[in-house]
Structure 1
Amino acid sequence: MILLLIRQIVLGLSLAAPIGPINIEIIRRGIHQGFWPSLLVGAGGMTTDLALMFLMYRGLSEYLTVNGVQLTLLVFGSLVLTYTGIQSFFHPSEPIVEEADYRGEGNRAELLRPYLTGVSIAAFNPLNLLFWLGIYGSVLSDSLQDENRLRAFFINSAIFIGIGMWNVNLAFTVHFSKSLLKPGVLKLISLAAGLFLIGLGVYFACKAAVKVSGFF
Protein backbone atom coordinates (compact mmCIF):
# COMPACT_ATOMS: atom_id res chain seq x y z
CA MET A 1 0.00 0.00 0.00
CA ILE A 2 2.78 2.44 0.96
CA LEU A 3 4.69 1.70 -2.25
CA LEU A 4 1.52 2.26 -4.28
CA LEU A 5 0.96 5.62 -2.61
CA ILE A 6 4.58 6.63 -3.25
CA ARG A 7 4.20 5.61 -6.89
CA GLN A 8 1.11 7.79 -7.23
CA ILE A 9 2.84 10.79 -5.63
CA VAL A 10 5.84 10.45 -7.95
CA LEU A 11 3.45 10.10 -10.88
CA GLY A 12 1.73 13.32 -9.80
CA LEU A 13 5.07 15.15 -9.75
CA SER A 14 5.95 13.89 -13.22
CA LEU A 15 2.51 14.80 -14.60
CA ALA A 16 2.62 18.35 -13.24
CA ALA A 17 6.18 19.19 -14.31
CA PRO A 18 5.74 19.67 -18.11
CA ILE A 19 5.05 23.27 -19.13
CA GLY A 20 1.39 23.87 -19.85
CA PRO A 21 -1.28 26.57 -19.44
CA ILE A 22 -1.58 26.10 -15.66
CA ASN A 23 2.18 26.31 -15.07
CA ILE A 24 2.41 29.35 -17.34
CA GLU A 25 -0.36 31.13 -15.44
CA ILE A 26 1.25 30.20 -12.09
CA ILE A 27 4.45 31.89 -13.28
CA ARG A 28 2.62 34.97 -14.59
CA ARG A 29 0.57 35.42 -11.40
CA GLY A 30 3.65 34.85 -9.26
CA ILE A 31 5.51 37.65 -11.03
CA HIS A 32 2.74 40.24 -10.83
CA GLN A 33 0.60 39.29 -7.83
CA GLY A 34 2.77 37.31 -5.44
CA PHE A 35 2.91 33.87 -3.90
CA TRP A 36 -0.71 33.24 -2.86
CA PRO A 37 -2.43 34.11 -6.16
CA SER A 38 0.20 32.02 -7.92
CA LEU A 39 -0.45 29.05 -5.64
CA LEU A 40 -4.23 29.41 -5.93
CA VAL A 41 -4.08 29.11 -9.72
CA GLY A 42 -2.56 25.67 -9.18
CA ALA A 43 -5.15 24.86 -6.51
CA GLY A 44 -7.94 25.73 -8.92
CA GLY A 45 -6.44 23.49 -11.58
CA MET A 46 -6.11 20.65 -9.06
CA THR A 47 -9.78 21.05 -8.07
CA THR A 48 -10.86 20.58 -11.68
CA ASP A 49 -8.44 17.69 -12.21
CA LEU A 50 -9.75 15.88 -9.13
CA ALA A 51 -13.33 16.35 -10.34
CA LEU A 52 -12.34 15.09 -13.80
CA MET A 53 -10.70 12.00 -12.39
CA PHE A 54 -13.81 11.23 -10.36
CA LEU A 55 -16.03 11.75 -13.40
CA MET A 56 -13.78 9.44 -15.41
CA TYR A 57 -14.55 6.76 -12.85
CA ARG A 58 -18.24 7.53 -13.36
CA GLY A 59 -18.07 7.10 -17.14
CA LEU A 60 -17.33 10.60 -18.45
CA SER A 61 -14.95 9.17 -21.07
CA GLU A 62 -17.90 7.88 -23.09
CA TYR A 63 -19.19 11.41 -23.65
CA LEU A 64 -15.85 12.91 -24.69
CA THR A 65 -16.09 11.16 -28.05
CA VAL A 66 -19.31 13.04 -28.97
CA ASN A 67 -18.58 15.66 -31.66
CA GLY A 68 -20.78 18.29 -30.04
CA VAL A 69 -18.99 17.92 -26.71
CA GLN A 70 -15.57 18.13 -28.37
CA LEU A 71 -16.58 21.25 -30.30
CA THR A 72 -17.91 22.93 -27.14
CA LEU A 73 -14.66 22.21 -25.28
CA LEU A 74 -12.57 23.56 -28.16
CA VAL A 75 -14.56 26.79 -28.34
CA PHE A 76 -14.57 27.45 -24.59
CA GLY A 77 -10.93 26.40 -24.30
CA SER A 78 -9.98 28.86 -27.04
CA LEU A 79 -11.88 31.69 -25.35
CA VAL A 80 -10.53 31.06 -21.85
CA LEU A 81 -6.89 30.66 -22.90
CA THR A 82 -6.93 33.59 -25.32
CA TYR A 83 -8.55 35.90 -22.77
CA THR A 84 -6.07 34.86 -20.08
CA GLY A 85 -3.13 35.43 -22.41
CA ILE A 86 -4.37 38.80 -23.66
CA GLN A 87 -4.38 40.11 -20.08
CA SER A 88 -0.58 40.13 -20.20
CA PHE A 89 -0.66 42.50 -23.20
CA PHE A 90 -3.43 44.77 -21.93
CA HIS A 91 -1.56 45.30 -18.66
CA PRO A 92 2.13 45.28 -19.61
CA SER A 93 2.93 47.89 -16.96
CA GLU A 94 1.24 45.95 -14.15
CA PRO A 95 3.51 46.35 -11.10
CA ILE A 96 5.81 43.56 -9.97
CA VAL A 97 5.01 42.87 -6.33
CA GLU A 98 7.05 41.37 -3.55
CA GLU A 99 4.01 40.15 -1.68
CA ALA A 100 0.60 41.70 -1.25
CA ASP A 101 -1.18 41.91 2.10
CA TYR A 102 -4.33 39.77 1.88
CA ARG A 103 -5.44 40.16 5.49
CA GLY A 104 -8.21 42.59 4.58
CA GLU A 105 -11.61 41.17 3.66
CA GLY A 106 -11.60 42.87 0.25
CA ASN A 107 -8.11 41.61 -0.54
CA ARG A 108 -9.01 38.08 0.52
CA ALA A 109 -11.91 38.21 -1.94
CA GLU A 110 -9.38 39.03 -4.67
CA LEU A 111 -7.79 35.61 -4.09
CA LEU A 112 -10.92 33.99 -5.53
CA ARG A 113 -10.07 35.33 -8.98
CA PRO A 114 -6.80 33.38 -9.52
CA TYR A 115 -8.45 30.27 -8.08
CA LEU A 116 -11.34 30.50 -10.56
CA THR A 117 -8.85 31.18 -13.35
CA GLY A 118 -7.10 27.91 -12.54
CA VAL A 119 -10.45 26.10 -12.44
CA SER A 120 -11.54 27.48 -15.83
CA ILE A 121 -8.21 26.85 -17.58
CA ALA A 122 -8.18 23.23 -16.47
CA ALA A 123 -11.90 22.69 -17.12
CA PHE A 124 -12.02 24.07 -20.66
CA ASN A 125 -8.63 22.95 -21.92
CA PRO A 126 -9.36 20.03 -24.29
CA LEU A 127 -5.78 18.82 -23.98
CA ASN A 128 -6.27 18.54 -20.24
CA LEU A 129 -9.37 16.39 -20.70
CA LEU A 130 -7.65 14.16 -23.24
CA PHE A 131 -4.64 13.98 -20.93
CA TRP A 132 -6.71 12.69 -18.04
CA LEU A 133 -8.54 10.32 -20.37
CA GLY A 134 -5.18 8.86 -21.38
CA ILE A 135 -3.98 8.64 -17.77
CA TYR A 136 -7.25 7.01 -16.80
CA GLY A 137 -6.94 4.45 -19.55
CA SER A 138 -3.28 3.56 -19.11
CA VAL A 139 -2.46 4.08 -15.45
CA LEU A 140 -5.50 4.54 -13.29
CA SER A 141 -7.65 1.82 -14.78
CA ASP A 142 -5.53 -0.94 -13.25
CA SER A 143 -6.97 -0.01 -9.86
CA LEU A 144 -10.48 -0.77 -11.10
CA GLN A 145 -9.69 -4.41 -10.43
CA ASP A 146 -9.90 -3.48 -6.75
CA GLU A 147 -13.29 -4.62 -5.46
CA ASN A 148 -13.63 -1.42 -3.42
CA ARG A 149 -13.99 1.32 -6.06
CA LEU A 150 -14.08 4.09 -3.44
CA ARG A 151 -10.79 2.92 -1.92
CA ALA A 152 -9.23 2.72 -5.38
CA PHE A 153 -10.33 6.29 -6.10
CA PHE A 154 -8.76 7.62 -2.89
CA ILE A 155 -5.52 5.74 -3.52
CA ASN A 156 -5.27 7.23 -6.98
CA SER A 157 -6.06 10.65 -5.51
CA ALA A 158 -2.56 10.53 -4.01
CA ILE A 159 -1.49 11.75 -7.46
CA PHE A 160 -2.66 15.17 -6.34
CA ILE A 161 -0.19 15.18 -3.46
CA GLY A 162 2.55 15.12 -6.09
CA ILE A 163 0.79 17.76 -8.22
CA GLY A 164 0.35 19.96 -5.16
CA MET A 165 4.03 19.58 -4.24
CA TRP A 166 4.99 20.72 -7.74
CA ASN A 167 2.64 23.73 -7.60
CA VAL A 168 4.06 24.84 -4.24
CA ASN A 169 7.59 24.39 -5.55
CA LEU A 170 6.86 26.43 -8.69
CA ALA A 171 5.12 29.21 -6.75
CA PHE A 172 8.02 29.41 -4.27
CA THR A 173 10.59 29.38 -7.08
CA VAL A 174 8.91 32.26 -8.89
CA HIS A 175 8.44 34.16 -5.62
CA PHE A 176 12.11 34.00 -4.61
CA SER A 177 13.76 34.10 -8.03
CA LYS A 178 11.99 37.24 -9.23
CA SER A 179 14.01 39.28 -6.73
CA LEU A 180 17.14 38.22 -8.64
CA LEU A 181 15.85 39.33 -12.05
CA LYS A 182 15.42 42.82 -13.46
CA PRO A 183 11.84 44.12 -13.89
CA GLY A 184 12.31 44.24 -17.67
CA VAL A 185 13.19 40.53 -17.76
CA LEU A 186 10.19 39.65 -15.60
CA LYS A 187 7.85 41.61 -17.87
CA LEU A 188 9.33 39.85 -20.88
CA ILE A 189 8.69 36.48 -19.23
CA SER A 190 5.12 37.54 -18.48
CA LEU A 191 4.53 38.65 -22.09
CA ALA A 192 6.04 35.41 -23.40
CA ALA A 193 3.69 33.47 -21.10
CA GLY A 194 0.74 35.45 -22.44
CA LEU A 195 1.83 34.79 -26.01
CA PHE A 196 2.00 31.07 -25.27
CA LEU A 197 -1.57 31.06 -23.92
CA ILE A 198 -2.85 33.09 -26.89
CA GLY A 199 -1.13 30.72 -29.30
CA LEU A 200 -2.76 27.73 -27.62
CA GLY A 201 -6.13 29.50 -27.75
CA VAL A 202 -5.72 30.19 -31.48
CA TYR A 203 -4.74 26.54 -32.01
CA PHE A 204 -7.97 25.39 -30.37
CA ALA A 205 -9.95 27.91 -32.41
CA CYS A 206 -8.48 26.45 -35.61
CA LYS A 207 -9.31 22.93 -34.43
CA ALA A 208 -12.87 24.06 -33.73
CA ALA A 209 -13.15 25.62 -37.20
CA VAL A 210 -11.96 22.40 -38.82
CA LYS A 211 -14.48 20.40 -36.80
CA VAL A 212 -17.32 22.77 -37.78
CA SER A 213 -16.35 22.52 -41.45
CA GLY A 214 -16.55 18.76 -41.12
CA PHE A 215 -20.23 19.02 -40.25
CA PHE A 216 -21.02 20.33 -43.76
Structure 2
Amino acid sequence: MVTLLAGSIVLGLSIAAPVGPINIEIIRRGLTFGFWPALCVGLGGMSSDLLLMFVMFLGAGMVLSWSWVQITLMLLGCLVLTHAGWTSFRKPVVSEWDAAEGNRRSRGASLVSYARGVLIAGTNPMNILFWVSIYGSVLSGALQKEDVLHSFLISSMVFIGIGLWNMNLAFIVHFSRSIMTFTLLKWIQRTAGLVLLYYGVKFGFEACLLIGKSGWL
Protein backbone atom coordinates (compact mmCIF):
# COMPACT_ATOMS: atom_id res chain seq x y z
CA MET A 1 0.00 0.00 0.00
CA VAL A 2 2.75 2.44 1.00
CA THR A 3 4.75 1.53 -2.10
CA LEU A 4 1.72 2.15 -4.32
CA LEU A 5 1.03 5.55 -2.76
CA ALA A 6 4.70 6.55 -3.01
CA GLY A 7 4.68 5.48 -6.66
CA SER A 8 1.64 7.69 -7.24
CA ILE A 9 3.51 10.68 -5.79
CA VAL A 10 6.44 9.92 -8.09
CA LEU A 11 4.01 9.75 -11.00
CA GLY A 12 2.75 13.22 -10.08
CA LEU A 13 6.32 14.52 -9.94
CA SER A 14 7.06 12.98 -13.34
CA ILE A 15 4.01 14.73 -14.80
CA ALA A 16 5.06 18.15 -13.55
CA ALA A 17 8.84 17.91 -14.00
CA PRO A 18 9.28 17.96 -17.82
CA VAL A 19 9.90 21.36 -19.37
CA GLY A 20 6.61 22.71 -20.67
CA PRO A 21 4.43 25.82 -20.73
CA ILE A 22 3.51 25.70 -17.02
CA ASN A 23 7.11 25.32 -15.82
CA ILE A 24 8.27 28.06 -18.18
CA GLU A 25 5.55 30.40 -16.92
CA ILE A 26 6.44 29.59 -13.28
CA ILE A 27 10.05 30.55 -14.02
CA ARG A 28 9.05 33.69 -15.90
CA ARG A 29 6.67 34.91 -13.18
CA GLY A 30 9.08 33.98 -10.42
CA LEU A 31 11.93 35.95 -11.93
CA THR A 32 9.72 39.01 -12.41
CA PHE A 33 7.50 39.06 -9.32
CA GLY A 34 8.86 36.53 -6.84
CA PHE A 35 7.70 33.42 -5.02
CA TRP A 36 3.94 33.89 -4.62
CA PRO A 37 3.09 34.77 -8.24
CA ALA A 38 5.26 31.83 -9.37
CA LEU A 39 3.49 29.50 -6.95
CA CYS A 40 0.10 30.84 -8.06
CA VAL A 41 0.87 29.78 -11.64
CA GLY A 42 1.41 26.27 -10.32
CA LEU A 43 -1.76 26.44 -8.22
CA GLY A 44 -3.72 27.56 -11.27
CA GLY A 45 -2.32 24.65 -13.25
CA MET A 46 -3.22 22.30 -10.40
CA SER A 47 -6.78 23.64 -10.42
CA SER A 48 -7.11 22.62 -14.06
CA ASP A 49 -5.46 19.29 -13.24
CA LEU A 50 -7.96 18.77 -10.43
CA LEU A 51 -10.86 19.43 -12.80
CA LEU A 52 -9.46 17.01 -15.38
CA MET A 53 -8.83 14.44 -12.66
CA PHE A 54 -12.41 14.80 -11.47
CA VAL A 55 -13.70 14.42 -15.03
CA MET A 56 -11.65 11.26 -15.49
CA PHE A 57 -12.73 9.96 -12.09
CA LEU A 58 -16.35 10.28 -13.23
CA GLY A 59 -15.50 8.41 -16.41
CA ALA A 60 -16.26 11.34 -18.70
CA GLY A 61 -12.88 11.41 -20.42
CA MET A 62 -14.54 10.62 -23.74
CA VAL A 63 -15.67 14.26 -23.96
CA LEU A 64 -12.04 15.33 -24.18
CA SER A 65 -11.54 13.05 -27.18
CA TRP A 66 -14.12 14.89 -29.29
CA SER A 67 -12.41 16.71 -32.14
CA TRP A 68 -14.21 20.04 -31.68
CA VAL A 69 -13.27 20.07 -27.97
CA GLN A 70 -9.61 19.40 -28.81
CA ILE A 71 -9.57 22.08 -31.52
CA THR A 72 -11.12 24.66 -29.18
CA LEU A 73 -8.60 23.90 -26.42
CA MET A 74 -5.66 24.02 -28.84
CA LEU A 75 -6.74 27.38 -30.24
CA LEU A 76 -7.18 28.79 -26.73
CA GLY A 77 -3.76 27.44 -25.79
CA CYS A 78 -2.28 29.05 -28.88
CA LEU A 79 -3.72 32.45 -27.94
CA VAL A 80 -2.73 32.26 -24.26
CA LEU A 81 0.83 31.05 -24.83
CA THR A 82 1.51 33.36 -27.76
CA HIS A 83 0.37 36.36 -25.73
CA ALA A 84 2.42 35.28 -22.69
CA GLY A 85 5.52 34.64 -24.80
CA TRP A 86 5.29 37.90 -26.73
CA THR A 87 4.76 39.87 -23.51
CA SER A 88 7.76 38.20 -21.90
CA PHE A 89 9.97 38.83 -24.94
CA ARG A 90 9.05 42.51 -25.26
CA LYS A 91 9.29 43.27 -21.53
CA PRO A 92 11.76 40.66 -20.37
CA VAL A 93 12.36 41.59 -16.75
CA VAL A 94 11.99 44.43 -14.27
CA SER A 95 15.19 46.30 -13.52
CA GLU A 96 16.86 46.20 -10.12
CA TRP A 97 15.55 49.64 -9.20
CA ASP A 98 12.04 48.51 -10.06
CA ALA A 99 12.21 45.46 -7.79
CA ALA A 100 10.43 47.18 -4.89
CA GLU A 101 7.61 48.24 -7.20
CA GLY A 102 7.42 44.68 -8.50
CA ASN A 103 7.05 43.40 -4.94
CA ARG A 104 4.25 45.88 -4.25
CA ARG A 105 2.46 44.65 -7.35
CA SER A 106 2.99 40.98 -6.50
CA ARG A 107 -0.43 40.64 -4.86
CA GLY A 108 -2.19 41.68 -8.05
CA ALA A 109 0.27 39.65 -10.07
CA SER A 110 -0.62 36.57 -8.02
CA LEU A 111 -4.24 36.67 -9.18
CA VAL A 112 -3.20 37.16 -12.80
CA SER A 113 -0.64 34.36 -12.44
CA TYR A 114 -3.27 32.00 -11.05
CA ALA A 115 -5.65 32.73 -13.93
CA ARG A 116 -2.87 32.23 -16.45
CA GLY A 117 -1.92 28.92 -14.85
CA VAL A 118 -5.53 27.74 -15.14
CA LEU A 119 -5.67 28.71 -18.82
CA ILE A 120 -2.28 27.26 -19.77
CA ALA A 121 -2.87 23.90 -18.08
CA GLY A 122 -6.50 23.70 -19.15
CA THR A 123 -5.72 24.29 -22.82
CA ASN A 124 -2.45 22.34 -23.02
CA PRO A 125 -2.99 19.31 -25.31
CA MET A 126 -0.01 17.51 -23.75
CA ASN A 127 -1.55 17.89 -20.30
CA ILE A 128 -4.96 16.75 -21.48
CA LEU A 129 -3.39 13.80 -23.31
CA PHE A 130 -1.88 12.59 -20.05
CA TRP A 131 -5.13 12.70 -18.14
CA VAL A 132 -7.05 10.99 -20.92
CA SER A 133 -4.48 8.28 -21.67
CA ILE A 134 -1.94 7.53 -18.95
CA TYR A 135 -3.92 8.58 -15.89
CA GLY A 136 -7.09 7.14 -17.38
CA SER A 137 -5.40 3.75 -17.72
CA VAL A 138 -4.00 3.88 -14.18
CA LEU A 139 -7.36 4.88 -12.74
CA SER A 140 -9.20 2.26 -14.76
CA GLY A 141 -6.93 -0.49 -13.48
CA ALA A 142 -7.27 0.73 -9.90
CA LEU A 143 -11.05 0.83 -10.11
CA GLN A 144 -11.15 -2.73 -11.42
CA LYS A 145 -8.95 -4.10 -8.64
CA GLU A 146 -9.75 -1.88 -5.66
CA ASP A 147 -12.57 0.15 -4.20
CA VAL A 148 -13.40 3.78 -4.99
CA LEU A 149 -11.70 5.08 -1.82
CA HIS A 150 -8.44 3.41 -2.79
CA SER A 151 -8.62 4.96 -6.26
CA PHE A 152 -9.29 8.36 -4.68
CA LEU A 153 -6.16 7.99 -2.52
CA ILE A 154 -4.07 7.19 -5.58
CA SER A 155 -5.45 10.27 -7.34
CA SER A 156 -4.68 12.41 -4.28
CA MET A 157 -1.07 11.21 -4.18
CA VAL A 158 -0.65 12.07 -7.87
CA PHE A 159 -1.97 15.55 -7.11
CA ILE A 160 0.37 15.93 -4.12
CA GLY A 161 3.33 15.03 -6.33
CA ILE A 162 2.39 17.78 -8.79
CA GLY A 163 2.08 20.28 -5.93
CA LEU A 164 5.47 19.35 -4.47
CA TRP A 165 7.16 19.96 -7.81
CA ASN A 166 5.47 23.33 -8.33
CA MET A 167 6.41 24.52 -4.83
CA ASN A 168 9.99 23.36 -5.25
CA LEU A 169 10.37 25.14 -8.60
CA ALA A 170 8.84 28.36 -7.22
CA PHE A 171 11.29 28.30 -4.28
CA ILE A 172 14.30 27.69 -6.52
CA VAL A 173 13.38 30.49 -8.93
CA HIS A 174 12.63 32.95 -6.12
CA PHE A 175 15.90 32.45 -4.25
CA SER A 176 18.09 32.11 -7.33
CA ARG A 177 16.94 35.43 -8.82
CA SER A 178 18.62 37.33 -5.95
CA ILE A 179 22.06 36.08 -7.10
CA MET A 180 21.50 36.61 -10.82
CA THR A 181 22.71 39.63 -12.73
CA PHE A 182 20.23 41.83 -14.58
CA THR A 183 21.66 40.76 -17.94
CA LEU A 184 21.24 37.07 -17.09
CA LEU A 185 17.68 37.65 -15.90
CA LYS A 186 16.91 39.47 -19.13
CA TRP A 187 18.15 36.64 -21.32
CA ILE A 188 16.41 33.98 -19.26
CA GLN A 189 13.14 35.85 -19.60
CA ARG A 190 13.59 36.30 -23.32
CA THR A 191 14.41 32.62 -23.73
CA ALA A 192 11.31 31.75 -21.70
CA GLY A 193 9.28 34.03 -23.97
CA LEU A 194 10.59 32.27 -27.07
CA VAL A 195 9.73 28.86 -25.59
CA LEU A 196 6.17 30.00 -24.82
CA LEU A 197 5.88 31.39 -28.36
CA TYR A 198 7.07 28.03 -29.70
CA TYR A 199 4.39 26.14 -27.79
CA GLY A 200 1.76 28.67 -28.84
CA VAL A 201 2.62 28.29 -32.53
CA LYS A 202 2.84 24.51 -32.13
CA PHE A 203 -0.65 24.28 -30.63
CA GLY A 204 -2.03 26.55 -33.35
CA PHE A 205 -0.42 24.38 -36.04
CA GLU A 206 -1.81 21.21 -34.45
CA ALA A 207 -5.26 22.80 -34.33
CA CYS A 208 -5.06 23.60 -38.04
CA LEU A 209 -4.03 20.01 -38.82
CA LEU A 210 -6.90 18.68 -36.75
CA ILE A 211 -9.33 21.03 -38.50
CA GLY A 212 -8.08 19.73 -41.86
CA LYS A 213 -8.45 16.10 -40.79
CA SER A 214 -11.96 16.69 -39.46
CA GLY A 215 -13.04 18.10 -42.83
CA TRP A 216 -14.19 21.44 -41.43
CA LEU A 217 -12.40 23.30 -44.22
Judge same fold: TM > 0.5, yes or no: yes
Percent of pairs with identical residues: 51
Q: Which residue of 1 aligns with 2:27?
A: 27
Superposed displacement of residue 108, structure 1: 3.5
Superposed displacement of residue 138, structure 1: 3.4
- Secondary structure of the residue aligned to 1:158 is helix
Q: Are the counterparts in 1 of residues 177 and 185 from structure 2 also a CA contact under 8 Å?
A: yes
Letter in 1 for 2:199: L
Letter in 2 for 1:21: P
Q: Distance in 1 between matches of 2:54 and 2:211?
A: 30
**Structure with a larger share of its residues in helix:** 2
RMSD: 2.1
Q: Distance in 2 between matches of 1:36 and 1:11?
A: 25
Q: Distance in 1 between matches of 2:200 and 2:15?
A: 22
The answer on 1:86 being equivalent to 2:83 is no
**Cα distance 1:101–1:200, how it changes in 2: closer, same or farther (>3 A)?**
closer
User: Greater CA deviation, 190-199 or 7-16?
Assistant: 7-16
Q: Distance in 2 between matches of 1:5 and 1:141?
A: 16
Equivalent residues, number: 213
Q: Are the counterparts in 1 of residues 37 and 110 from structure 2 also a CA contact under 8 Å?
A: yes
Q: Provide, for residues 153-197 of structure 1, a one-character-per-residue CA deviation record: whole Å limited to 9, x for no partner.
A: 233211121111111111111111122221111111111111111
Letter in 2 for 1:5: L
User: Greater CA deviation, 155-164 or 33-42?
Assistant: 155-164
Q: Distance in 1 between matches of 2:106 and 2:27?
A: 20
Q: Distance in 1 between matches of 2:102 and 2:207?
A: 39
Q: Distance in 1 between matches of 2:54 and 2:144?
A: 16
Q: Are the counterparts in 1 of residues 53 and 155 from structure 2 also a CA contact under 8 Å?
A: no
Q: Which residue of 1 aligns with 2:69?
A: 69
Q: Which residue of 2 aligns with 1:16?
A: 16
Q: Which residue of 1 aligns with 2:113?
A: 114
1:1-216 to 2 correspondence within 5 Å?
1-95=1-95, 97=99, 108-146=107-145, 148-214=147-213, 215=215, 216=217
Superposed displacement of residue 101, structure 1: 5.0
**Structure 1 outlier segments of 4+, above 6 Å:** none
**Cα distance 1:155–1:98, how it changes in 2: closer, same or farther (>3 A)?**
farther
- Secondary structure of the residue aligned to 2:92 is coil
Unaligned runs of 5+ in 2: none
Q: Provide, for residues 78-106 of structure 1, a one-character-per-residue CA deviation record: whole Å limited to 9, x for no partner.
A: 1111111111023235336489656xxx8
Superposed displacement of residue 16, structure 1: 1.3
Letter in 1 for 2:132: L
- Secondary structure of the residue aligned to 2:95 is coil
- Length-normalised TM-score, structure 2: 0.89
Q: Distance in 2 between matches of 1:109 and 1:183?
A: 23
Superposed displacement of residue 137, structure 1: 3.3
**Cα distance 1:114–1:200, how it changes in 2: closer, same or farther (>3 A)?**
same
- Length-normalised TM-score, structure 1: 0.89
